[in-house]
Amino acid sequence: MNTQAYPSPQFFMTAPAPCPYLPGHVERKVFTHLVGQRASEMNDLLTQGGFRRSQNIAYRPACETCRACISVRILVDAFEPTGSMTRVLSRNADLLAKEYEAEPSSEQFSLFRRYLDSRHIQGGMSDMTVLDYAMMVEDTHVPTRIIEYRLREEGDGIAEKPSGRLIATALTDMMSDGLSMVYSFYDPDLERRSLGTFMILDHIRRARALGLPHVYLGYWVKGSRKMAYKTRFQPQEHLLHQGWTRFRPTDGS
**Other residues' Cβ atoms within 10 Å of the Cβ of residue 220:** 20
The parent domain of residue 36 ranges over 12-68
How does pLDDT run across 95-141, given as a tens digit for each residue?
999 999 999 999 999 999 999 998 766 556 768 899 999 999 999 99
**Rounded CA gap, 135 and 55, in Å?**
7
**Rounded CA gap, 20 and 132, in Å?**
20
Question: Which are the contacts of 153, defined by CB distance < 8 A and separation ≥ 6?
Answer: 162, 163, 164
- 247 assigned to some structural domain: yes
Split into its structural domains, the chain has a count of: 2
Averaged pLDDT score across all residues of the chain? 91
Of the residues 21, 50, 68, the one at which a domain ends: 68
- 1 assigned to some structural domain: no
How does pLDDT run across 163-184, given as a tens digit for each residue?
789 999 999 999 999 999 999 9
For β-strands 214-221 and 178-186, DSSP reports them as parallel
CB-CB contact of 59 with 30 (8 Å): yes
Per-residue pLDDT at 249: 77
pLDDT bin (cut points 50, 70, 90) of residue 227 is confident
Could you give phi then psi for residue 86, rounded to 5 degrees?
-60, -35
Are residues 90 and 198 part of one domain? yes
How does pLDDT run across 5-20, given as a tens digit for each residue?
556 789 999 999 998 8
Are residues 244 and 162 part of one domain? yes
Are residues 80 and 28 part of one domain? no
CATH label of the domain that carries residue 134: 3.40.630.30
**Rounded CA gap, 50 and 60, in Å?**
7
Section 209-217 average pLDDT: 98
**By C-alpha distance, which of 218, 82, 100, 77 is closest to 150?**
100
Are residues 202 and 235 part of one domain? yes
> What DSSP designation does 189 have?
T
CB-CB contact of 58 with 88 (8 Å): no
> What DSSP designation does 250 have?
G
- 4 assigned to some structural domain: no
How does pLDDT run across 61-102, given as a tens digit for each residue?
999 889 999 999 999 999 999 999 999 999 999 999 999 999
Of the residues 30, 45, 68, the one at which a domain ends: 68
**Rounded CA gap, 127 and 104, in Å?**
17
State the chain's maximal CA–CA distance in angstroms.
59
Section 204-218 average pLDDT: 98
- Structure pTM? 0.91
Are residues 180 and 195 part of one domain? yes
**Rounded CA gap, 136 and 53, in Å?**
10
**Rounded CA gap, 226 and 169, in Å?**
19
For residue 3, is pLDDT > 60? no
